[in-house]
Structure formats: C-alpha cells, structure tokens
C-alpha cells in the first residue's frame, strides 16, 4: 500500500517508490460531490488474479472446481525447439477490495466499495485462447509484430527494473515480455512466475480495454474513477504471482514487485517443471483521492 501521502506529506513510505501525485495546494474540492478535503494517495489492494492450468479451478478459493457442463481449453506448455517454449493459462478476475472490509486508512469515499466477487472467467471468453479473435479487441497489434518494436521492449525492462515501466512503450510488459496479444497465449515462456505475472498484466490491460476496469490516479482521479482504454502501466503494482498449487515445500510468499519488474522474470524457484503450477496474485491500484474534511451546504 505504501507510500501513503496526506495533504502533500508522506505519512509512511518505508522506501517504496511512488508515481507522481497532483501538485499545488493540499486542499481539494469536488463540486459534484459537494466535498472539500485534503489530497491523499496510496496503493489500494482492489483485485485478485488466478493464473491456472485446469479450467474452472479457483485457486484463490482453496482450489474449488466449478462444473459448468462444458469443456474449455486446458493450460499447456509447448517446447517449439531446444531454446523456445510457449504456454497457455486461464485467468480469473476477482473483485477483492480488502480495505473496505477492514474499515482502515481512509473513509469510504476513498475506498472501492463492495465485497469479494468472482467477476471474470477467461474460460467463458472465446477471445482468450484465439489470437485472431483477440485481434478484434486490439487491432493496433499489427504495428508491433516486428523486430524493432520487440527490441524497444528492452528499454521498458530497464525502466521497470529501476522503478516503473514506460507508458510510451504501451505494447511492452516490462521484463515479462510482450503485452500483446491480450489473451492466455505466452509466446516466450521463461518460467511459471514470469508467465503468470505476464498473464496478470495482460488481464488488467484487457479489463481496461473492455471498460471493465477504470483508473483512479492523478488529478482526474481525485473526485472519482475515469475510463482508460489503454492501461497506465505505472498505475499498478502487485505481489509477484505466488505458487499456490502444488505448494513447494518450505516456500514463502514472493517479494512485492511492480508490474513488469525484472525480479520475477524467469524465476525458477519452486517450479515443478514436469507438472506446472497454479498461481494467485494480488493487484494494487494507485489511488489519488480527495479525502473529505467536511461537506459544503
């Protein structure tokens, strides 16, 4: 969640990096909500993502398996040659606004409302396993299927390693690989942690493109959420997707990382190479908000 800022001052950071916050006066107003308050910022845990091999296996719900009465493509891994591996995973999107349950940090106006909900299953989405159908969602991918565009992603990897990825290279996902296509097909599988983190980033971008996830950072976010069809990569960070099944003996939760961070790229620790893994990831979204001090008449 850190850094947490209130009225332009750091309350707690513990060395965590941050993105730019609205400047100027620490006082803010939201005329449409009749609110006068102070500018606050923090990283809010709002979503949870499963990355799984078995269709309809809800890893974050203790491995609960649904039976909808029809089949879906199963997760797989393919060795194309001695040096190249690709893979396919399903992903599940949970609404999980932890802070509203706890009633912590800020008032309800600055926290996402609701309870735990399984909001999106890629098994029900025909675009998730078909590159040609997914093209309908992001036709601009035709511009980036070339060597110069892929080589440019090296700069995004360097930037993500030093802080946050570059929004100017919106087709890249830091050190994890290409953000496109926005589906479950990972063309360059370096390891389960790398592939699952890439799938998490792709799913966030897909939710933005489909209008199912809105941004909350910057000056525009002080008084509410706003549409953002092309995801701001610096608006999210999360825990590197942790192996949840099978559970490696003596393993612990992965260290916190930003979207596209090099620290999870190709990480082999705990991988069951012959069988594969299922993962769970927590997603933190940057929140700038006008914390209401009082209401105007």
Convert the pLDDT of each residue in 64-77 to its tens digit: 888 888 888 887 87
**Average pLDDT over all residues of the chain:** 82
pTM summary value = 0.86
Q: What is the pLDDT of residues 227-245, one digit of tens each?
A: 999 999 999 986 556 555 5
Query: Is the distance from CB of 113 to CB of 99 less than 8 angstroms?
Result: no
pLDDT at 120 over 90: yes
Q: Is the dihedral of CA 170, 175, 178, 179 positive or negative?
A: negative
């Amino acid at each position: 969640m850190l850094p947490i800022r209130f009225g332009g001052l750091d309350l707690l950071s513990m060395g965590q990096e941050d993105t730019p916050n609205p400047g100027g006066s620490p006082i803010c107003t939201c005329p449409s909500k009749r609110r006068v308050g102070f500018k606050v910022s923090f990283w809010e845990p709002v979503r949870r993502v499963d990355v799984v091999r078995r269709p309809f296996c809800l890893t974050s719900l203790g491995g609960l398996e649904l039976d909808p009465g029809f089949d879906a493509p199963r997760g797989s891994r393919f060795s194309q040659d001695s040096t190249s591996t690709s893979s396919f995973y399903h992903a599940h999107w949970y609404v999980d606004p932890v802070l509203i349950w706890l009633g912590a940090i800020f008032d309800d106006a600055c926290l996402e409302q609701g309870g735990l909900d399984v909001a999106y299953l890629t098994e029900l989405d025909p675009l998730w396993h078909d590159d040609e159908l997914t093209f309908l969602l992001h036709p601009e991918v035709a511009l980036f299927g070339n060597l110069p565009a892929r080589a440019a992603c090296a700069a995004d990897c360097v930037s993500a390693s030093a802080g946050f990825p570059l929004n100017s290279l919106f087709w890249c996902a830091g050190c994890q690989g290409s953000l496109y296509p926005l589906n479950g097909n990972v063309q360059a599988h370096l390891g389960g942690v790398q592939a699952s983190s890439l799938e998490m980033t792709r799913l966030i971008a897909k939710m933005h493109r489909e209008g199912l996830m809105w941004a909350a950072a910057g000056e525009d976010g002080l008084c509410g959420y706003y549409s953002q069809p092309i995801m701001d990569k610096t608006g999210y960070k999360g825990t590197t997707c942790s192996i949840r099944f099978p559970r490696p003996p003596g393993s612990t939760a992965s260290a916190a990382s930003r979207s596209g961070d090099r620290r999870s790229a190709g990480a082999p620790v705990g991988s069951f190479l012959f069988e594969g893994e299922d993962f769970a990831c927590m997603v933190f979204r940057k929140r700038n908000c006008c914390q209401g001090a009082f209401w105007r008449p």
